[in-house]
Structure 1
Amino acid sequence: MIGLVVFGAMFYSLFRYRHSKGAKAAHFHEHTSVEVLWTAIPILILVGMAVPATATLKNMYDSSDAELDVMITGQQWRWRYEYLGEDVAFTSNMSTPRTQISGEETRGEHYLLEVDEPLVLPINRKVRFLMTSDDVIHSWWVPDLAVKQDTIPGFINENWVKINEPGIYRGQCAELCGINHGFMPVVVHAVEEEEFAGWLAERKEAAEQEAMGLTVSGQWMS
């Protein structure tokens, strides 16, 4: 709208008051009222835009009051997810067959964007991401969730998401991180709260059984 008004006035003036029609330029200066007006109006416009923009930015980066915390760790070339306080953690690797990558088999619908262990999240719950890396800089990016955050060794970055609709959301590493950068997809499986609670309980039980198996094995070995 600003562009239309400004350029519209400019081209109208160029056409209406052109020299070939005998128009003569007016000479005036030091018009205090006009100077105050063309200074005050832009200031008011900018302030009017800054207030809602600042509030929106604050809300975008405010990860407080989260109902679930997930640690995301970038690794060459996979992602590790840990549900903090839940004793559930796993590594997510790309599952696209090598035969598709080498061209020996027809590429699937989600070529290079499928994993063996997706990140499972509940809908309608604010989830905070704590992001870091074990080696080089990666970038966890899921376009449909509007989340793109670098994972940096030695630092923890924060981001958050609240998913409204169940479904599968796909993304990938968006930072050139090494030779297999293109084979580092992200898959988020958003489910209903009840389904998430059941899944989390199953993963906890599996983790406990695995821990008990390791303990018994360790005792036997000793």
Structure 2
Amino acid sequence: MLLPAVGVHAAEREGWNLTQGVTAISQQVYDLHMTIFYICVAIGVLVFGVMFWAIIRHRKSKGAKPASFHESTKVEIAWTLVPFLILVGMAIPATQVLLDMEDTTEPDLTVQVTGSQWKWHYRYFDHDVAFFSLLASSPEQIRNERQKRDTYLLEVDQPLVLPVGRKVRFLITSQDVIHSWWVPAFAVKKDANPGFINEAWTKIDKPGIYRGQCAELCGKDHGFMPIVVIAKPQEEFDAWVQKTALAQQKAREEEQRLLDMEMPMDELMALGKQVYDSRCGMCHQSEGQGMPGVFPALAGAEIAIQPDRLVDHIDIVVNGKAGTAMQAFGPQLSLKELAAVVTYERNAWGNDTGDTVQAAQINAVKSGEDL
């Protein structure tokens, strides 16, 4: 066996072994893993040792004669009873760990985790805080036009922030297809199924930054929805919650103020390009050419150039399109960002409609009003 030969600690340093993690439950999982591993090593050594000893000791060249016996009751009982006892011995600690992993009772904090193609949404119960967490690795890094950082594809714009030393319950679900929320350092890996809620929990022992990924093949950008968790002491977490809640409240107030404003074309186009590149370009491509048979082109598309299709254009960006990969961006983007990206799509790549979409028009579509 390779691991005993090089040592368990060396294997951990090389990334061959299971992550020990930073929670009590992750340590339990690691200890169980190593216990079962050593049992398997012992069985392997014993079985192969006896087998090779028998091959060498009773080989024909030494004049060994094969035994002639049939149906030994003692042997039958032994090779049935011994594996049974071994499995029972393995099942007892495994059952205890599984029960501890599923015990989500009496949490200090509850966070709803919602997966969607291809991002995570976090909502803190008992706090007025909710946000989307998106990949922060730049398109230039993905296209190999810029040097990749050490955290390439494992960095986000808004990480999940959790307190140290508090039991955190996760309610995990999905908006579209099956995802899987996986943070190895917490020993947490739960499927996010549309229409269902799965529960998990953690209690982080050490402040720090912990990274994970979606562990379910959920579509073409499956590799682009990482998880980043920042664990802070309780007082720092409380300060972060207060600051974030205040910022989100101000953002909502700013949106209401925008309803009475007219943004100029140049401001809309500049912001729209940023939003398009970060949210839309992966599917519809950087020049709006789309991916034939998968994602429709926007350059020259009727919905993006005909004046009478403006409401349809806004509606599909805000509410998505059922039965397709087109998501509803209404809950994800601000009114200003939605107005800007629709304006950009109607005036980029030669579309040149001259249309400027304002926050009030977006709000009317979100509210179901007639424009």
TM-score (structure 2 length as normaliser): 0.53
**Cα deviation, residue 190, structure 1:** 0.8
Q: Give the distance between the partners of 2:88 and 2:218, measured in 1 at CA.
A: 41
Which region of structure 1 is more displaced relative to structure 2, 114-123 or 88-97?
A: 88-97
Matches within 5 A, 1:200-211: 200-210=241-251
Amino acid aligned to 2:160: L
Q: 1:217 to 1:106 in 2, by over 3 A?
A: closer
2:233: which partner in 1?
A: 192
Q: Show CA shifts across 1:35-93 (max 9, x none).
A: 44443333222222211111112212222222211101112222110011222111112
What aligned pairs does 1:168-187 form with structure 2 within 5 A after superposition?
168-187=209-228
The residue that corresponds to 2:112 in the other structure is 71
Gap runs ≥5 in structure 1:
none
Mapped to 1, the partners of 2:199 and 2:215 lie a distance apart of 17
In 2, Cα distance between equivalents of 1:106 and 1:30: 68
* 1:34 CA displacement: 4.7
RMSD: 2.6
Distance in 2 between the 1:99 and 1:18 partners?
A: 65
Query: Kindly tell me: are residues 15 and 103 of structure 1, through their superposed partners in 2, closer, same or farther at Cα, counting changes over 3 Å?
Result: closer
For residues 98 and 38 of structure 1, the distance between their equivalents in structure 2, rounded to whole angstroms, comes to 59
1:92 to 133, 153, 156: 133
Secondary structure of residue in 2 paired with 1:139: strand
C-alpha distance 106-45 of structure 1, shift in aligned 2 (>3 A):
closer
Q: For residue 188 of structure 2, what is the amino acid of its counterpart? A: V
Indicate the residue corresponding to 1:8 in structure 2: 49
User: Helix, strand or coil: the match of 2:212?
Assistant: strand
Give the direction of change, closer, same or farther, for the CA distance of 1:97–1:9 in structure 2 (3 Å limit). Answer: closer
Match of 1:46 in 2: 87
Q: Secondary structure at the match of 1:105?
A: coil
Question: 1:210 deviation in Å?
Answer: 4.7
SS in 2 for 1:149: strand
Against the structure 1 CA distance between its residues 165 and 29, is the aligned structure 2 distance closer, same or farther, given a 3 Å change threshold?
same
SS of aligned partner of 1:12: helix
Most deviating of 172-181 and 195-204 = 172-181
| Structural mapping, 1:103-122, within 5 Å | 103-122=144-163
Looking at structure 2, the residues matched to 35 and 98 of structure 1 have their Cα atoms a distance apart, in angstroms, of: 63
Say if 1:22 and 1:98 are closer, same or farther in 2 by CA, change over 3 A. Answer: closer
Q: Aligned-pair distance for 1:196?
A: 0.8
Relative to structure 1, is the Cα distance of residues 134 and 19 closer, same or farther in structure 2, using a 3 angstrom cutoff?
Answer: same
Q: Deviations over 1:158-192 (max 9, x none)?
A: 12222221111122223333333332221111111
Deviates more, 1:51-60 or 1:25-34: 25-34
Change (3 A) 1:124 1:28: same
CA distance in 1, matches of 2:188, 2:206: 16
> What is the alpha-carbon distance in structure 2 between the residues aligned to residue 58 and residue 2 of structure 1?
27
Q: Aligned partners of 2:246, 2:191: CA distance in 1, in Å? A: 32
Structure ranking higher in helix proportion: 2
Q: Matched residues in 2 for 1:81 and 1:98: separation?
A: 24
Give the SS at the match of 1:41: helix
More strand, by proportion: 1
Using the TM superposition, name which of 159-168 and 32-41 deviates more: 32-41
Output the amino acid matched with 1:157: N
- The reply on whether 1:21 has 2:58 as its aligned counterpart is no
- Deviation track 1:79-132 (CA, whole Å, cap 9, x = no partner) reads 110011222111112222333333333222322222111000112222111111
Identity %: 55
Residues of 1 paired with 2:127 and 2:237: CA distance? Answer: 13
Distance 1:38 1:206, change over 3 A: same
Per the TM alignment, residue 134 of structure 1 is displaced from its structure 2 partner at its CA by 1.3
Of 74-83 and 137-146, more deviation after overlay is shown by 137-146
Task: For 2:73 and 2:118, locate their aligned partners in 1 and report how far apart those are by CA, in whole Å.
Answer: 64
User: Is 1:124 matched up with 2:165?
Assistant: yes
1:102 is matched with 143
**1:27–1:89 distance in 2 versus 1, CA, 3 Å:** same
